[in-house]
A and B are shown apart, each in its own frame.
Chain A
């Protein structure tokens, strides 16, 4: 496989991997906290009819490690948006942290996200509904990914359930889809409990979710 396409997001070079070529709407895969894009497709993804891409978040995989930390999931949402500027409308499937970011980008760019799948993986829970005590130790700069600051800060970011609910509402209002969010996770942190309680969200397995979204116009 050739190297990734580099997509620039402010001062970060993001690695966007072309996992499989094809025609039609791409599937964009988002990894979990501390992970990187897997170059090996999972079985449900293999069935996707179009091209498949994978994005390494800031501080992960082959993407830039920023100096001094300062991670927030909204930053990662903008990472994904930088990829959308490159590949156009997609269906998104994220595991763990990538699942939460998939929700954010489905709400933030509803016209560009034709379905978002949330699956289990590292970083799914985050820090809970309210802030916890911040980690204030200054770390030596990480020389390899994952960035230590990413692991600390993205495991502790607050995820209020009503904030997640608003993101679902944005996705429903802006996508034109009946069920723009598919939850395939067994773990249900408070933000995800709130998400599955909303209309516009379907609880299913990954394969069924991807098949449904693949059939969309």
Chain B
């Protein structure tokens, strides 16, 4: 069995039904502790929280995380869309119980949870967003005609990909090969870590291991989405809000920092930056990140009587 320092598989697992889609859901910590939801980023899965989640659990929380549709061991869907991911998360909320609970999310998961907090405030008591605020900072500043050419390439490529999805399979390989491939988009993370999560996020067939993520999904894409929509939404959050930023730029990072969020930071919001780490803040620096989260949520944990 492949292990990783500090990693602990979930203490419990279950399935949550989200309107016919079954979501693999996991928990760390004492089930009697107050719950918080922990949302992973795009192309990750709950198992990527195997070091971070136990630290939050040790801080007195019942940590509930799930594989989003098409990711990990959750059902693959026919359609993927932001609002559907939000809606699926509500099924996880409902499975935890009554009353507002804190949410912690990384990257896309952070943005999802921030959005849920802004439109369903009765469900959420506090928000921690770990490098999950797109701002457009990482988007090239181009002329309109150049943007048209970029979109043409993106659209054609995406449509070509969609034509292949009916028969698509992820490329097989050894665990080491899968880890090496993932390193292309996760260059700051160690091979040992990537190999560890491959044992969770991949499955083995006769011809090798494949990442479980739905082969119809691919990074990037196009559409009407504007990063400023996510950024501006921060202003709508009424709960205690903490945005944690990184300093080291990398491909999957949003490049967002204090100055970008400042105009939209809500009255109960604040930011923190962990120096010397990239987009996967909670994996590169799980201890300091967990400390920030636990400090932010401590008033709620004490208020829950634990």
Residues of B within 8 A of A166 (CB): 147-148, 151
Closest A residue, CB atoms, query B228: A130
Residues of A within 8 A of B226 (CB): 160
Per-residue 0/1 for B148-169: is the Cβ within 8 Å of any A Cβ (1 yes, 0 no)?
Answer: 1001100110110011011000
Please tell me if A133 contacts chain B, counting CB pairs below 8 Å. yes
Per-residue 0/1 for B103-124: is the Cβ within 8 Å of any A Cβ (1 yes, 0 no)?
Answer: 0000000000001100110000
Residues of A within 8 A of B115 (CB): 134
Classify chain A's interface size.
35 or more
Contact of B159 among A68, A71, A108 (CB under 8 A): A108
Bound Cα distance A82, B167 (Å): 13
Please tell me if A109 contacts chain B, counting CB pairs below 8 Å. yes
Q: Do B216 and A10 touch (CB < 8 A)?
A: yes
Candidate in B83, B87, B166 with the most chain A CB atoms within 10 angstroms: B83
Candidate in A70, A78, A141, A159 with the most chain B CB atoms within 10 angstroms: A70
Q: What is the number of residues of chain B that contact chain A, defined by CB distance less than 8 Å?
A: 43
Bound Cα distance A11, B158 (Å): 16
Per-residue 0/1 for A163-202: is the Cβ within 8 Å of any B Cβ (1 yes, 0 no)?
Answer: 1001001100110000000000000000000000000000
Q: Do A58 and B78 touch (CB < 8 A)?
A: yes
Residues of B within 8 A of A67 (CB): 19-21, 75, 77-78
Q: How far is the CB of A139 from chain B (nearest CB, A)?
A: 6
- Chain A contacts to B: CB under 8 angstroms: 8-12, 58, 64, 66-72, 74-75, 77-78, 81-82, 85, 107-109, 130-131, 133-141, 153, 157-160, 163, 166, 169-170, 173-174
For the complex of A and B, the 8 pairs showing the least CB-CB separation, nearest first, are A70-B79, A66-B78, A70-B84, A70-B81, A11-B78, A67-B20, A78-B162, A10-B165
For the complex with contacts A70-B69, A74-B222, A138-B91, 14 further pairs of A-B residues with Cβ separation under 8 Å are A68-B79, A69-B84, A81-B159, A82-B163, A85-B163, A130-B229, A134-B87, A134-B119, A136-B90, A136-B120, A141-B19, A159-B224, A170-B152, A170-B155
